[in-house]
Amino acid sequence: CTYSVVVNLDITNLKKHRLYPAMIWLLTKTVNEMPEFRTSFTEEGLGIYDDMHPMYTVFNKENKNFSGIWSYFSEDYDTFLKNYEIDAETYSTSTRYAPKSGTPANSFNISMVPWMEFTGFNINVFDDGHFLLPIFTMGKFFERDGKRMLPLAIQVHHAVCDGYHVGLFVEKLQRLIDCFDC
């Protein structure tokens, strides 16, 4: 079974950066630090990927639809940002759901719904419980007590991620956000 939780992250420290690519990088970096978030069924059976790459949505402003694309992850943010910018520019006007071919098996889903804040969010994956990788959805950021907050829905499979792992993930992610410019 899967479950979802929504947390509010303090993203005040990211004000100088483009939020979406920064959060994609931060989420991927955190996923790559935790084997529970890299566990999946492969052709060989259950395994843990060495590293993951983000698969994320880009919005077509003309037809108001999303396309799912992916970029190679790099530990170096500037390198990742260049890859992201090229991919987003190339595919943001596509009318296809998955316009970029070659999606790596070791990729996971990230999306953002920047038009609304939310306190609950759930995606129902119908696959007989075999989809073990996490799904992340961000909402519209808001101000609270002088801080910029971002709702983040985290959906995981309970077979590989307990509440302990999600809590640890959120702590690691918040630390990375807090030290983004360190």
Residues annotated as part of the active site: 158
Read off the tokens for 97. 């759901």
3-state secondary structure of 77: helix
Residues 131, 63, 71, CA angle at the centre, nearest 5°?
A: 45
Q: What does 32-72 look like in DSSP terms, one character per residue?
A: HH-GGGSEEEETTEEEE-S--EEEEEEEETTTTEEEEEE--
Tell me the C-alpha distance between 140 and 18, whole Å. 14
